[in-house]
């Protein structure tokens, strides 16, 4: 090729690339991971997507919080509000206050805000199928959080459930193996999975934990038990029945979320069997930290889902989808054990109560 | 007839001789009852005006007003049945569970067994009716109070639902995605959701039955004083059976619409969690024998206005819970005052 023709071709190519819509998005100054870490203070959140410092237009992000009064979901809300303020997006939230049946109605209510994207979190197909299909009807991007995969919702943001379950089980295995050298030596061991079948995320999460624990500890199927409150029996009653059926055994337990583990833990404590359980929870919100700080004999620790960062990341994810950017998955791998709780607690909540 | 019902109500003293009120006490009593009657419409107007002022350009939009009606609709259908039962002196705490069983039966037959729509719907509603019938049987034959009876029947219905969930549902909920269920449940004839039309139809029919039929008069009579009603030739057991079956059918219908919209049936499909607050706010007496359906509709709308308004204001959940709890307590106080005035 003639050199001048080649130069001309190169110039045209560069001009085309520089004026392409995607390229202009990439050349706009973006917030860096350091900016986000600094902006999120002691939470020191990671970045899901590098967003432009100036959004191309005003976006209305709307979210139906399943229960703002719940410590975990309440912190989501704060993370979302702060992130929306940081990125200069409008954020409107409705609160289902623990009544999931109201979520489809609240979805309709939020439509008056002319949303650019809408979402809810911590729900199973019983809620998501309907509102996911409705969002599709309206051609409205639906960005959920911790819902697990759903056939009506193209993007699944939140905790990596299988990873969380696996990580939890690996830490529980270490704790159980240590106890098998001391007070659990020679005792029959069971793994108890506390799940909630209507929530796809829970099935994946605790299922991965059970599989990992079973394999690491070489348990047979009879020694892997499941309690599911959606079958009508609550977690505490399920645990009481298990304790009664195995009076000399010990139990390693992982629940889908913190609270679902504390019920059976307290049941074991009430039955005088606290020393026979080893609990590792998934979530790590403040009540879990409060409990772990007291160093109960059977509470090993937790995997922190870092709800503030998760809420922050939901805003980033929504804006990332709306501006057509490449998203990184939300990562959470912070483990807090009894040995670390004092420092972690002080970092997050101060040294007070 | 409505006036006749009220008179029948007020005179159903069950043979107890009451002191004859003087003109002055009658006057002050009427005034107090009038004030009590006025509380609900006034509260509704105050709520509408307040939210209108706090949410300018947002609250009084056609979309939002339709949203309020949609929010009220499914719970409102159940509350209509609940009111009818209370007027007849019965209370039904099995509506949530009967609704879930109805939807589970429908999903099992229509989605999983591929039955045609109408037979599946019919059998599902028959399951609801069977629950109502069972409650009525226990109330009528064993003379167990309806509160206890319906609690037990509710547990049984939920247990049967779990059998169906367990049989078909691998993830704790049943799919209901086979067309045209969702299209029907989310249809908007003349721009208004079908759930709202259904609610209006239910209230219209119930109003007609209560105020313009012999059966309506019998409902008030049985609720006011079942013994006196029996002496006067009312077939009390039949009235109780009819009302318990009606409540169960309405609960089933509302939950079917709910599940159809959500494309799933789940054990947590409660279209309304606290119907008692709405009916008490409406002035339906816990003692039975009094209450008006149009006021129940106002109470349902009031709770919907409160729910939507507070959601749009994004106030913390505890504000909503405290407000709803306060309304419940005020409704109880109103009910107590009403009973006191009516028996004076």
Residue B178 sits at the chain A interface (C-beta within 8 Å)? no
- The answer to whether residue B293 sits within a structural domain is yes
Chain B contact set for A199 (CB, 8 A): 172
Contact (CB<8Å) A126/B63: no
- Chain B from 295 to 334: CB within 8 A of any A CB: 307-308, 311-312, 314, 316-318, 320-321
Contact (CB<8Å) B314/A93: yes
Mutate: best of B309, B314, B325, partner A, most A CBs <10 A: B314
The fold of A161-304+338-349 is: Rossmann fold (3.40.50)
* Contacts of B247 by beta carbon, 8 Å cutoff, 6+ apart: B81, B82, B84, B85, B92, B95, B132
- By CA distance, what is A201's nearest residue in B? B171
Asked if B79 and B278 count as a contact pair (C-beta separation under 8 A), the reply is yes
Nearest to B246 by CA among B81, B130, B23: B81
The CA-based angle B331-B336-B339, given to 5 degrees, is: 125
* Contacts of B181 by beta carbon, 8 Å cutoff, 6+ apart: B110, B117, B260, B263
Residue A352 tokens read as 């007070």
Chain A contact set for B172 (CB, 8 A): 124, 196-199, 228, 230-231
Indicate the range of A169-173, B166-170, B287-291 predicted with least confidence: B166-170
Residue B123 sits at the chain A interface (C-beta within 8 Å)? no
- By CA distance, what is A203's nearest residue in B? B171
Q: How many alpha carbons lie under 13 Å from residue A180 in its C-beta half-sphere?
A: 15
How much is the average pLDDT of B90-106? 96
Contact (CB<8Å) B311/A111: no
* Closest residue to A97, CB basis, from B177, B264, B321: B321
CATH class of domain segment(s) A24-158+307-322: alpha beta
Whether residue B73 is predicted with pLDDT greater than 90 in this model: the reply is yes
* Closest residue to B270, CB basis, from A94, A101, A125: A101
Domain that residue B276 falls in? 2-7+29-343
Residue B1 tokens read as 């007839």
List, for residues B212-269, the tens digit of each pLDDT value: 999 999 999 999 999 999 999 999 999 999 999 999 999 999 999 999 999 999 887 7
Write down the pLDDT at residue B274: 65
Show me where the domains of chain A are located: 24-158+307-322, 161-304+338-349
Full DSSP string of A203-266: HHHHHHHHHHHHHHHT--GGGEEEE-GGGT--HHHHHHHHHHH-TT-EEEEEESSHHHHHHHHH
Bridge partner list, A16: none
Distance separating alpha carbons of residues A84 and A64, to the nearest angstrom:
15
Q: How far is B57 from chain A (nearest CA, A)?
A: 10
Contact (CB<8Å) B262/A232: no
Chain A contact set for B321 (CB, 8 A): 69, 97
Q: Return the sign of the alpha-carbon dihedral for residues B147, B153, B157, B160.
A: positive
Q: How far is A244 from chain B (nearest CA, A)?
A: 24
Q: How far is A127 from chain B (nearest CA, A)?
A: 6
- The answer to whether residue B66 sits within a structural domain is yes
Backbone φ, ψ for residue A283 (5° rounding): 145, -70
Q: Give me the percent of chain B exceeding a pLDDT of 70.
A: 89
- The answer to whether residue B16 sits within a structural domain is no
Band of the pLDDT at B5, cuts 50, 70, 90? Answer: very low
Write down the pLDDT at residue A26: 52
Q: How many CB pairs under 8 A join A and B?
A: 111
Write down the pLDDT at residue B317: 67
* Closest residue to A108, CB basis, from B67, B182, B317: B67
Q: How many domains does chain B have?
A: 1
Q: How far is A231 from chain B (nearest CA, A)?
A: 7
Residue B192 sits at the chain A interface (C-beta within 8 Å)? no
End-to-end CA distance of chain A: 76
Contact (CB<8Å) A95/B314: yes
> Residue B175 belongs to a domain with what CATH number?
1.10.3470
Write down the pLDDT at residue A14: 42
Write down the pLDDT at residue B249: 98
Running along chain A, 353 residues long, what does each successive block of 10 average in pLDDT? 48 43 61 95 92 96 91 92 97 89 89 95 89 95 90 89 95 97 97 90 94 97 94 91 97 96 96 97 92 96 94 97 93 90 89 59
How much is the average pLDDT of B287-308? 90
B29-43, B156-170, B176-190, B306-320, range with greatest mean pLDDT? B176-190
Chain B contact set for A92 (CB, 8 A): 314
Chain A contact set for B266 (CB, 8 A): 124, 126, 198
Asked if B174 and B111 count as a contact pair (C-beta separation under 8 A), the reply is yes
Buried b (16+ CB within 10 A) or exposed e, B119-131: ebbebbbebbbbb
Mutate: best of A64, A105, A127, partner B, most B CBs <10 A: A105
List, for residues A298-332, the tens digit of each pLDDT value: 999 999 999 999 999 999 999 999 999 999 988 88
Contact (CB<8Å) B317/A67: yes
Chain A contact set for B267 (CB, 8 A): 198, 230, 232
């Amino acid at each position: 090729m003639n050199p001048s023709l080649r130069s001309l071709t190169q110039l045209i190519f560069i001009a085309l690339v520089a004026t392409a819509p995607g390229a202009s998005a990439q050349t706009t100054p973006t917030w860096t991971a350091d900016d986000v870490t600094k902006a999120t203070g002691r939470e020191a959140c990671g970045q899901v997507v590098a967003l432009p410092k100036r959004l191309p237009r005003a976006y209305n992000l709307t979210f139906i919080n399943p229960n703002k009064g719940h410590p975990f979901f309440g912190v989501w809300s704060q993370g979302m509000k702060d992130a929306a303020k940081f990125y200069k997006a409008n954020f409107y939230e409705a609160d289902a206050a623990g009544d999931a049946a109201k979520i489809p109605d609240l979805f309709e209510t939020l439509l008056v805000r002319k949303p650019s994207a809408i979402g809810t979190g911590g729900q199973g197909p019983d809620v998501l199928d309907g509102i996911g299909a409705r969002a599709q009807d309206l051609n409205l991007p639906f960005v959920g959080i911790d819902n697990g995969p759903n056939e009506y919702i193209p993007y699944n943001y939140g905790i990596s459930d299988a990873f969380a379950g696996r990580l939890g089980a690996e830490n529980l295995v270490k704790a159980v193996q240590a106890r098998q050298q001391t007070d659990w030596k020679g005792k029959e061991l069971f793994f108890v999975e506390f799940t909630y079948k209507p929530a796809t995320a829970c099935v994946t999460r605790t299922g991965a934990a059970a599989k990992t624990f079973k394999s690491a500890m070489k348990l047979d199927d009879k020694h892997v038990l499941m309690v599911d409150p959606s079958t009508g029996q609550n977690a505490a009653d399920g645990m009481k029945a298990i304790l009664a059926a195995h009076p000399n055994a010990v139990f390693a337990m992982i629940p889908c979320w913190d609270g679902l583990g504390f019920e059976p833990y307290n049941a074991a404590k009430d039955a005088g069997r606290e020393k026979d359980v080893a609990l590792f929870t998934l979530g790590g919100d403040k009540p879990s930290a409060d409990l772990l700080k007291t160093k109960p004999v059977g509470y090993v620790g937790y995997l922190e889902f870092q709800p503030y960062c998760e809420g922050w990341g939901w805003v980033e994810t929504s804006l990332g989808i709306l501006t057509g950017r490449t998203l990184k998955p939300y990562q959470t791998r912070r483990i807090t054990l009894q040995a670390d709780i004092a420092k972690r607690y002080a970092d997050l909540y101060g040294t007070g109560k | 007839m409505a006036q006749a019902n009220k008179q029948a109500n007020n005179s159903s003293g069950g043979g107890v001789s009451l002191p004859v009120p003087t003109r002055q006490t009658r006057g002050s009593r009427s005034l107090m009852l009038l004030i009590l009657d006025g509380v609900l419409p006034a509260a509704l107007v105050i709520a509408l005006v307040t939210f209108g002022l706090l949410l300018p350009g947002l609250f009084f939009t056609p979309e939002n007003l339709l949203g309020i009606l949609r929010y009220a609709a499914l719970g409102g259908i159940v509350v209509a049945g609940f009111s009818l039962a209370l007027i007849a002196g019965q209370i039904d705490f099995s509506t949530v569970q009967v609704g879930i069983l109805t939807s589970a039966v429908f999903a099992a037959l229509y989605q999983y067994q591929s039955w045609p729509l109408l037979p599946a719907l019919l059998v599902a509603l028959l399951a609801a009716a069977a629950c109502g019938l069972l409650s009525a049987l226990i109330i009528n034959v064993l003379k167990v109070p309806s509160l206890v009876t319906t609690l037990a029947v509710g547990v049984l219905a939920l247990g049967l639902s779990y059998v169906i969930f367990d049989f078909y549902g691998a993830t704790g909920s049943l799919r209901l995605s086979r067309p045209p269920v969702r299209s029907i449940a989310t249809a908007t004839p003349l721009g208004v959701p079908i759930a709202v039309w259904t609610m209006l139809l239910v209230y219209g029919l119930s109003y007609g039955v209560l105020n313009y039929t012999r059966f309506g008069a019998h409902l008030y009579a049985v609720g006011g004083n079942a013994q006196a009603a029996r002496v006067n030739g009312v077939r009390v057991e039949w009235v109780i059976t009819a009302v318990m079956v009606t409540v169960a059918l309405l609960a089933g219908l509302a939950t079917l619409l709910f599940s159809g919209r959500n494309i799933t049936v789940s054990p947590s499909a409660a279209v309304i969690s606290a119907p008692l607050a709405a009916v008490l706010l409406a002035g339906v007496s816990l003692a039975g024998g009094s209450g008006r359906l149009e006021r129940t509709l106002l109470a349902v709308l009031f709770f919907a206005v409160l729910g939507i308004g507070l959601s749009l204001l994004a106030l913390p959940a505890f504000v909503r819970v405290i407000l709803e709890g306060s309304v419940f307590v005020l409704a109880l106080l109103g009910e107590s005052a009403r009973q006191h005035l009516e028996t004076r």
